[in-house]
Structure 1
Amino acid sequence: MRLKQDVSPVVVVIFRLVVWLYSLISYLPYLLLRSSDLQSFSECSRRVKASSVSGHPSGPYRDVGALRALATCLQPGLNTLDRVFESSVCRFPHFDCLGTRDLLSEEDEIQEDGRVFKKVILGEYRWMSYDQVYKEVRAFGSGLGALGQKPLKNIAIFCETRAEWIIAAQACFMYSFPLVTLYSTLGGPAIAHGLNEAEVSHIITSKELLENKLKNILLEVPRLRHIIVVDDKLKSGSEYPQGISVHSMAAVKRLGAHPENALRQRRPPCASDVAVIMYTSGSTGVPKGVMISHSNIIAGVTGIAERIPNLGEGDTYIGFLPLAHVLELSAEMVCLAHGCRIGYSSPQTLADQSTKIKKGSKGDISVLRPTLMAAVPEIMDRIYKNVMLKVEEMSVFQRTLFLLAYNYKMEQLEMGYSTPLCDKLVFRKVRALLGGRLRVLLSGGAPLSAVTQRFMNICFCCPVGQGYGLTETCGAGTISQLWDYSTGRVGAPLVCCEVQLKDWIEGGYCSTDRPCPRGEILVGGPNVTMGYYKNKQKNSDDFFVDKKGQRWFCTGDIGEFHGDGCLKIIDRKKDLVKLQAGEYVSLGKVEAVLKNCPLVDNICAYANSDESYVIGFVVPNKKQLLALAERRRVRGLWEELCKNPVIEEEVLKVITEMALTAQLERFEIPRKIRLSVEPWTPETGLVTDAFKLKRNELKSHYQNDIERMYGAK
């Protein structure tokens, strides 16, 4: 998608003259220095990346480098997570491992609307070496054992992403304590459900979550006996139900380091043991616990690592996504297995403009300057829209230069060439928003729009590897090759698994479709997990074992394979709604298109099978909506603007134009919308921690509006 230009003819001539001179000067050295075996991006993109093992269009498809056998582990003999970490400690004992910024000061800042935001000033990163982390892991695991935690008995972690999370997890892996992970944004009933179902007696949490969430449901979790708080200082004077003991993480480590406990024999895990019971964020109902073995995680990590070139101790990863999500956990396990260092952050402190960073001070990414990063599309969409808003505020000359450079670089990438001059002169400041050193950006958790993916490739001067995976497949499935600059696809299967297409007749998708075979995506291989915890019916519905003994997971997503072996996600069974007149509408497809609208920060399309049209709930972009209101001379507070029928109608017009430009069918375009005053965050319970829509919760939340838009009395 080419960006529109408001271009002065003189500027165009000057720009193209500079580009022509630069190309002329650099072309001969490029030809002389270019090695004979180096291939351009366009040449690489024509290579076959995966092929059908059976020769049938339904597959199964495998990476061409793994046609003989699927990869199961990083190195021979390293088949459990404790062995993988111990290997890294032996190879990189004095290298930086986990880093956290010091809190220098904290203050309350009153906003114009009267709300109070907490602002912080943070210092430099303070690092622990691999050897230091290993000692902490051993002491903490030993201390948990001294507190009565038994091998193969579940223990829970309910905590924000931080260094202590990984230390606790590695301790549990080392001492064979199956780790039950719970999102820090889950509500009370969901937390109680997970703890009771897993029969947990010990839980690891933070001071904030203990006081604000966990404390309120302790009476609903009768088996709970020990609460371990990762913060150094516990809040004194708090009362807890009888029989529950509260300990600091430091106290547990001291207990574990005592000679009597340190010498106690541990029961090392087996590859087939459950390492994690990962509770999903419940986008379709009550959270389900997915049982993941040591061998499952290692297979997934092996597959992901193979797609990241030159991964090693020189890399720095920024960890800010929820570690209770399989994407972040897998990414950090990849880093720890290869000697990378991990600096911790949060969405509230990530960038200089983040909500908790005091104006004038530095966000985490500016200080850490990572080389590796994983993100969900919601975050990348925000970055894209924020940068484009800044472009609109530039002078005519600056804006013209930026758009010319953007479109020029797009042309060069499509031909397989790099643009060092544009990168240095035009995109340097944009690239600095993510630290300036980023070399790999992995996207997962949901589909990434082609517009945002192209923007990240061009402006941040680093490849975006879009991937596809689920909790049930350890986050591994496919990842696009980093030199593949095509958009809208999720790449070829990883070396740890294979992908097959199953006909879905009701939706009209078949493996015999031309030109691309289509169907429900099935993922098979050693990374496919053991199933759902205490849920036999769901296991039999979603998992099966084939004649060769290989385990498969039925994803419910619809995909198509392209001629080069790359997969594209085109639909989802649960998102398909049949309207009154018989037309099928893919709600996910509609949302993916309309989220590219500058006025839209988030959108949920909704359709009732008894009705003839689609409706939508929209989280508007505040800056864009205020500008629209000013152009239409509509006055009022934010809440009043969102409920104003004139503004609602104007937003609907813009959305409709975007939908028609993207060639959506008329019946797919929302006919009525409702603007949301508040953004949808995991804290509101309307989206998951990966920012996937919780359709049931959104339907309940907007029930009155649904009835109004469908004309119910």
Structure 2
Amino acid sequence: MRLKEDLNPMLLLLFHLMVWIYTAITFLPSYLLSWISRSHRNSYGSEEERAKRPKARSVLGRPEGPYRAVSTTKRLLSSLHPGVDTLDKMFEYAAMRFPHRDCLGMREVVTEEDERQSNGKVFKKVVLGEYRWISYREALTAATQLGSGLASLGQRPKTNIAIFCETRAEWLIAAQACFAYNFPLVTLYSTLGGPAIAHGLNEAQVTHIITSRELLETRLKAILPEVPRLQHIIVVDKKPTTWPGYPQGISIYNMATVQKLGARPENATFERKQPLSSDIAVIMYTSGSTGIAKGVMISHSNIIASITGMAERIPNLSEEDTYIGYLPLAHVLELCAELVCIAHGCRIGYSSPQTLADQSSKIKKGSRGDTSVLQPTLMAAVPEIMDRIYKNVMTKVEEMNSFQRTLFILAYNYKLEQLSKGYSTPLCDRFVFRKVRSLLGGRTRVLLSGGAPLSAATQRFMNVCLCCPVGQGYGLTETCGAGTICEYWDYSTGRVGGPLVCCEIKFKDWVEGGYRSTDRPHPRGEILIGGPNVTMGYYNLEAKKQEDFFVDENGQRWFYTGDIGEIHEDGCLKIIDRKKDLVKLQAGEYVSLGKVEAVLKNCPLVDNICVYANSDETYVIGFVVPNQKQLLALAGQHGIRGSWEELCNIKAMEELVLKVIAEAALTAQLERFEVPRKIRLSPDPWTPETGLVTDAFKLKRKELKTHYKDDIERMYGGK
């Protein structure tokens, strides 16, 4: 994606002359630095050359597959280290190799205050201190003592225990305690509402739960009468130490108290029954984008296989790396990413979406966000977060004066051209993109993207401006997050890479949707993932398990993903559709809702969008969360005035936004029947707290349909 700018001919000629001089001056040092850098690693070549290199091949030579990574055509890999086949052994192995290295870090709150906004709303702002670290040995001791303490409180091996907590160091310590003592860990998102929490706890028959003070008081306390089996609550915070006002029969402890209990000599000798690789490590309740959350049973061997596959795609992973953890640890992407880091001795510094950067919502103006302090080298992100970074930077580019903006655009396009040829641009990175790169701390070398498709525009922006590759990947909770990840030298967009070394993929024809493995030029169909990373099925849902999972004649487990993909000549997978997102209009046209949304999210006016289609109707409609700055500018251009909420409810604004969206859709070559004919503007963003998106920011279509029920009737002429 090249950036464009309208300039008068003389100014354009002047800048072309400047960029020619710049190129001439920087070519030799850039080429030498690039040559020196590449002499210490494999030469990756131009995009065209990289695209021709095989990443995977069909084992049987058939278009439907199965396809495996070129390095694993004989067998799939399922372990990182010999004999390390369970997660407790992996943590012990890491603590033995890196006993004194920093393991887990958290920032302390220095000050906290309420800040009143111009619209009357009050936001809590914080100033945070430096990171405080515990070593691998200290983390192992803390986990062992906690596990022993839980056992002394009656928790038994192979009996479920729940964790309902924000992403923080205590979450991972608690998980390691459960892995070590063979307590299957039931994970619940911290944004879940009362009914979903009660459903998970009751279905899993939980008696012990680990949570935070805030979640206990704001979410858990209200539903305690609905979970009669629950007896023990362990709070990860240090204060308070007494908990009045809770029902009889409920015991509440601080995590530190339970650890002290476990450290007592009489409890420290408690016989620990280590898990087998086939034992359940986690029952992970999915975020429920299509209905009630399902508990996915994940064994120790599933996770070990998954992190083996992921680690192979992260170059030079070592104890010198720093990872920033801020996505929900109850999501399989974040959990496996952190366990990959633990297995290699990396340090993990914790954050949150509200404190991630200097400009984040909870960071007091003038103080530093977590990326500025931590300066991570590794980071996982969902496309929603990367789209925000992209749009924020591009908005600032638009606000630059003409000289600055043109310089940025010329540098962007120059670097894009050099990347396509396989060259780096060290001087350009240092003098033009350093400020943008500093948004993530300035040292990020690999970004792992998952959870949803990443737009080509955002991926190109990350490659160019953040000066690091984006490893776009594909996986599901049911495959323990593993499936595919792009090689970090592959800068192609719109694809999710070849299969990992722990699994393989094949296609099943979906005749109704018109996708077959015999399609040309690329075989297409529903994606099936098989291998040791494929999980054990759904907890207490045997019928659903038999519907979505199967075991082949060789004893290998497979999962029907419901996603539609195509395989390219080099073995890279591209996700092109989803069975549940395909709607047939009254006139017979099929509309892929996800495809339309992915295209329209590239429009600067759109922060988020949900496309909706009723099979009884002839056209598509949409719900749009507009970009506030862009919408206010559009209103100003047309003399429309009002508050933010008023603007979003003015029909004239809907029509103006719809016109911009339609132009963007047709420019992206969507069919006319795919373009929304009517829209509803939403003044409020969709966050996991609203219940309209999952914790990975995937749309919850059922909830959105209910939320906008009246608008759907209006847009389809019902009102």
Task: Indicate whether the TM-score tops 0.5.
Answer: yes
Q: Is the 8 A contact 1:577 1:586 kept in 2?
A: yes
Equivalent residue runs for 1:25-104 within 5 Å = 26-27=30-31, 35=39, 38-42=43-47, 43-104=49-110
Q: Is the 8 A contact 2:33 2:426 kept in 1?
A: no
1:29: how far off?
7.7
Q: Is the 8 A contact 2:243 2:252 kept in 1?
A: no
Please tell me whether residue 148 in structure 1 is matched to residue 154 in structure 2: yes
2:646 counterpart (596, 620, 640)? 640
Please tell me whether residue 6 in structure 1 is matched to residue 12 in structure 2: no
Name which of structure 1's ranges 323-332 and 409-418 shifts more when overlaid on structure 2: 409-418
* Paired AA for residue 361 in structure 1: S
Instruction: Please give the per-residue CA displacement for 1:454-478, whole angstroms capped at 9, x wherever unaligned.
Output: 1000000000000000000000000
Any idea what SS the aligned residue of 1:200 has?
Answer: coil
Q: For 1:553 and 1:300, how far apart are their aligned partners in 2? A: 15
Q: Is the 8 A contact 2:31 2:423 kept in 1?
A: no
1:289: how far off?
0.1
1:234 is matched with 240
Q: Is the 8 A contact 2:34 2:425 kept in 1?
A: no
1:185 is matched with 191
Query: 1:29 and 1:179, CA in 2 relative to 1: closer, same or farther beyond 3 A?
Result: closer
Q: For 1:138 and 1:125, how far apart are their aligned partners in 2? A: 24
* Paired AA for residue 16 in structure 1: W
Q: Is the 8 A contact 1:41 1:483 kept in 2?
A: no
Instruction: Please give the per-residue CA displacement for 1:66-87, whole angstroms capped at 9, x wherever unaligned.
Output: 1100001001100000000000
Any idea what SS the aligned residue of 1:629 has?
Answer: helix
Q: Is the 8 A contact 2:34 2:423 kept in 1?
A: no
The two structures, once aligned, show a CA RMSD in angstroms of 1.2
Any idea what SS the aligned residue of 2:417 has?
Answer: helix
1:21 is matched with 25
Q: Is the 8 A contact 1:227 1:245 kept in 2?
A: yes
Query: 1:28 and 1:692, CA in 2 relative to 1: closer, same or farther beyond 3 A?
Result: closer
Q: For 2:307 and 2:255, how far apart are their aligned partners in 1? A: 28
Any idea what SS the aligned residue of 2:379 has?
Answer: strand
Query: 1:33 and 1:324, CA in 2 relative to 1: closer, same or farther beyond 3 A?
Result: closer
1:532 is matched with 538
Q: For 1:453 and 1:639, how far apart are their aligned partners in 2? A: 32
2:111 counterpart (92, 105, 111)? 105
Q: Is the 8 A contact 2:164 2:187 kept in 1?
A: yes
Q: For 2:43 and 2:618, how far apart are their aligned partners in 1? A: 55
Q: Is the 8 A contact 1:120 1:356 kept in 2?
A: yes
Q: For 2:597 and 2:464, how far apart are their aligned partners in 1? A: 24
Q: For 1:352 and 1:467, how far apart are their aligned partners in 2? A: 28
Q: For 1:397 and 1:509, how far apart are their aligned partners in 2? A: 49
2:492 is matched with 486
Query: 1:334 and 1:28, CA in 2 relative to 1: closer, same or farther beyond 3 A?
Result: closer
Any idea what SS the aligned residue of 2:267 has?
Answer: helix
Name which of structure 1's ranges 141-150 and 41-50 shifts more when overlaid on structure 2: 41-50
Gaps in structure 2 of 5+ consecutive residues: none
Query: 1:411 and 1:273, CA in 2 relative to 1: closer, same or farther beyond 3 A?
Result: same
2:323 is matched with 317
Please tell me whether residue 268 in structure 1 is matched to residue 274 in structure 2: yes
1:24: how far off?
4.5
Q: For 2:272 and 2:34, how far apart are their aligned partners in 1? A: 59
Q: For 2:102 and 2:42, how far apart are their aligned partners in 1? A: 36
1:432 is matched with 438
Query: 1:235 and 1:610, CA in 2 relative to 1: closer, same or farther beyond 3 A?
Result: farther
Equivalent residue runs for 1:301-700 within 5 Å = 301-700=307-706
Q: Is the 8 A contact 2:30 2:427 kept in 1?
A: no
Q: For 1:257 and 1:162, how far apart are their aligned partners in 2? A: 23
Instruction: Please give the per-residue CA displacement for 1:321-353, whole angstroms capped at 9, x wherever unaligned.
Output: 000000000000000000000000000000001
Query: 1:26 and 1:331, CA in 2 relative to 1: closer, same or farther beyond 3 A?
Result: closer
Q: Is the 8 A contact 1:161 1:346 kept in 2?
A: yes
Q: Is the 8 A contact 1:614 1:667 kept in 2?
A: yes
1:244 is matched with 250
1:13: how far off?
1.0
Q: For 2:70 and 2:228, how far apart are their aligned partners in 1? A: 52
* Paired AA for residue 439 in structure 1: R
Q: Is the 8 A contact 1:291 1:531 kept in 2?
A: yes
Query: 1:683 and 1:28, CA in 2 relative to 1: closer, same or farther beyond 3 A?
Result: closer
Instruction: Please give the per-residue CA displacement for 1:243-298, whole angstroms capped at 9, x wherever unaligned.
Output: 11111001100100010000111110000000000001111111100000000000
Query: 1:237 and 1:302, CA in 2 relative to 1: closer, same or farther beyond 3 A?
Result: closer
1:192: how far off?
0.3
Q: Is the 8 A contact 2:44 2:489 kept in 1?
A: no
Query: 1:33 and 1:420, CA in 2 relative to 1: closer, same or farther beyond 3 A?
Result: closer
1:114: how far off?
1.0
Name which of structure 1's ranges 410-419 and 85-94 shifts more when overlaid on structure 2: 410-419
Please tell me whether residue 199 in structure 1 is matched to residue 225 in structure 2: no
1:164 is matched with 170
1:33: how far off?
8.5
1:95: how far off?
0.1
Gaps in structure 1 of 5+ consecutive residues: none
Query: 1:709 and 1:86, CA in 2 relative to 1: closer, same or farther beyond 3 A?
Result: same
Q: For 1:323 and 1:27, how far apart are their aligned partners in 2? A: 42
Q: Is the 8 A contact 2:289 2:694 kept in 1?
A: yes
Q: For 2:55 and 2:134, how far apart are their aligned partners in 1? A: 39
Query: 1:32 and 1:526, CA in 2 relative to 1: closer, same or farther beyond 3 A?
Result: closer
Q: For 1:438 and 1:83, how far apart are their aligned partners in 2? A: 30
Q: Is the 8 A contact 2:148 2:262 kept in 1?
A: yes
* Paired AA for residue 21 in structure 1: I
Q: For 1:327 and 1:598, how far apart are their aligned partners in 2? A: 28
Q: For 1:565 and 1:670, how far apart are their aligned partners in 2? A: 34
* Paired AA for residue 627 in structure 1: A
Any idea what SS the aligned residue of 1:240 has?
Answer: coil
Any idea what SS the aligned residue of 1:379 has?
Answer: helix
Percent identity between matched residues is: 73
1:677: how far off?
1.3
1:12: how far off?
2.1
1:552: how far off?
0.1
Instruction: Please give the per-residue CA displacement for 1:417-446, whole angstroms capped at 9, x wherever unaligned.
Output: 111121111101000011000000000000
* Paired AA for residue 26 in structure 2: Y
1:17: how far off?
1.6
Q: For 1:26 and 1:593, how far apart are their aligned partners in 2? A: 35
Q: Is the 8 A contact 1:5 1:404 kept in 2?
A: no
Query: So what's the TM-score if we normalise by structure 2?
Result: 0.98
Q: For 2:428 and 2:308, how far apart are their aligned partners in 1? A: 36
Instruction: Please give the per-residue CA displacement for 1:460-516, whole angstroms capped at 9, x wherever unaligned.
Output: 000000000000000000000000000000000000000001100000000000000
* Paired AA for residue 301 in structure 1: I
Query: 1:113 and 1:130, CA in 2 relative to 1: closer, same or farther beyond 3 A?
Result: same
* Paired AA for residue 616 in structure 2: D
Query: 1:227 and 1:237, CA in 2 relative to 1: closer, same or farther beyond 3 A?
Result: closer
Any idea what SS the aligned residue of 2:683 has?
Answer: coil
Q: Is the 8 A contact 1:41 1:484 kept in 2?
A: no
Instruction: Please give the per-residue CA displacement for 1:532-578, whole angstroms capped at 9, x wherever unaligned.
Output: 00001111110000011100000000000000000000000000000
Query: So what's the TM-score if we normalise by structure 1?
Result: 0.99
